[in-house]
Amino acid sequence: MDYLETGTVVQLGARQTMVLSYLNSCVRETMTGATVRVGAEQSEVLSGKVERSKVRCDTGKASLTGELAIQVAGRAFRSVTPVHEASPAPKNQQPTIYGLSPLLEVRTPGVLTIERIDEPSEAYALYIDGDQLVRGGYYDFARWGRALVAGATYRAISGSDETVFKVDPEAKPGRVPVVSRLVRLPH
């Protein structure tokens, strides 16, 4: 998983495939054998084949600063005492994910704490080593067979980074498109 700047040109071989998802537009593109120029909300495909679809995502709340797009290309939970007893952030500030197995962007290996904050529940701490991070900075719940509760609100903490997010009541299990389940911890 890499972030690509607007205007970046990628040339794919005849049998190579690339998937791009846009955080600002929730467009997901699969390109094969194409020459692609990355746009702000979708790509310009100069040759080859492209399939576009609109996926459920929380436009703008998971967005990167500037004109960036995202290329879409921890083993055990243990119960811990909840870290915070605070109430959730206002609803308009909480990003929503549409998959039960989030992909969390974390800075470094270490302890990732996930706690449900909309009702009393267990909190989980995952010790994540470098081998468990996808592309060196993402913990993928789907890869490790983990899922959260649909409709719940969670707080994720990794080191000094923290964010609150909501799981949509109709969130789907498994590997839904990354842009639909990406949770960014502010750095």
Domain annotation for the chain: domains and CATH numbers:
2-71 (no CATH), 78-184 (2.60.40)
Distance from the first to the final alpha carbon of the chain: 18
Q: Is the pLDDT of residue 39 over 70?
A: yes
pLDDT score, position 124: 83
Q: What residues contact 90, with CB distance under 8 A and at least 6 apart?
A: none
**Could you read off the pLDDT of 40-77 as tens digits, one per residue?**
888 888 888 889 988 888 765 544 433 333 333 222 22
Query: For residue 68, what pLDDT is reported?
Result: 31
Region of 33 (left: φ > 0; alpha: ψ -120 to 50; beta: rest) is: left
pLDDT of residue 166: 95
